């Protein structure tokens, strides 16, 4: 994973009046996105495509684990997994993270939730997550989280 910073050339006289444009290249990041809401999966596909990432979406944890195993076996592993914290009636984020980390300790997993007061979000590292992406999220939120992980 890498990124490119493009800063327009300028003279010292115009520095005060110029805002440098910074473009971040997230091409090559392969994302596995798990959420039970079809609309959110669709929005996520658009966000990641706009950022230059490859993305695969799944509905629940069991499917996420199977997809992660499949990708790892083809030598095109996922760079990051983003899991919904709660999936009614199916495997949610905590159990998915625990199972993935047991198989792939190096997996980078982000928990995503709209429940701001959930203890998992406050202590995400204790549950095997590398970061938090709070819902509803924007393109800028996603970019910020991915860049933070890239720089660690």
Say yes or no to pLDDT of 20 above 50.
no
Q: Is the pTM of this model over 0.75?
A: yes
Q: Does residue 58 contact residue 33 with C-beta atoms inside 8 Å?
A: yes
pLDDT confidence of residue 25:
65
> Quick one: residue 89, left, alpha or beta (phi over 0 = left, psi -120 to 50 = alpha)?
left
| Residue 2 contacts residue 25 (beta carbons within 8 Å) | yes
Please determine, for residue 89, whether its predicted confidence score (pLDDT) is greater than 50: yes
């Amino acid at each position: 994973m890498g990124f490119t910073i493009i800063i327009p050339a300028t003279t010292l006289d115009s520095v005060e009046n110029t805002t440098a444009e910074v473009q971040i290249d997230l091409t090559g990041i392969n994302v596995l996105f798990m959420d039970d809401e079809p609309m959110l999966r669709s929005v996520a596909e658009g966000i990641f495509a706009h950022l230059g990432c490859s993305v695969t979406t799944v509905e629940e944890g069991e499917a996420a684990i199977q997809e992660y195993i499949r990708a790892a076996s083809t030598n095109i592993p996922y760079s990051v997994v983003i899991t919904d914290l709660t999936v009614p009636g199916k495997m949610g984020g905590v159990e998915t993270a625990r199972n993935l980390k047991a198989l792939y300790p190096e997996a980078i997993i982000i928990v995503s939730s709209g429940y701001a007061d959930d203890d998992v979000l406050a202590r995400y590292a204790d549950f095997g997550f590398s970061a938090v992406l709070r819902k509803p999220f924007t393109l800028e939120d996603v970019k910020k989280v991915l860049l933070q992980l890239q720089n660690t």
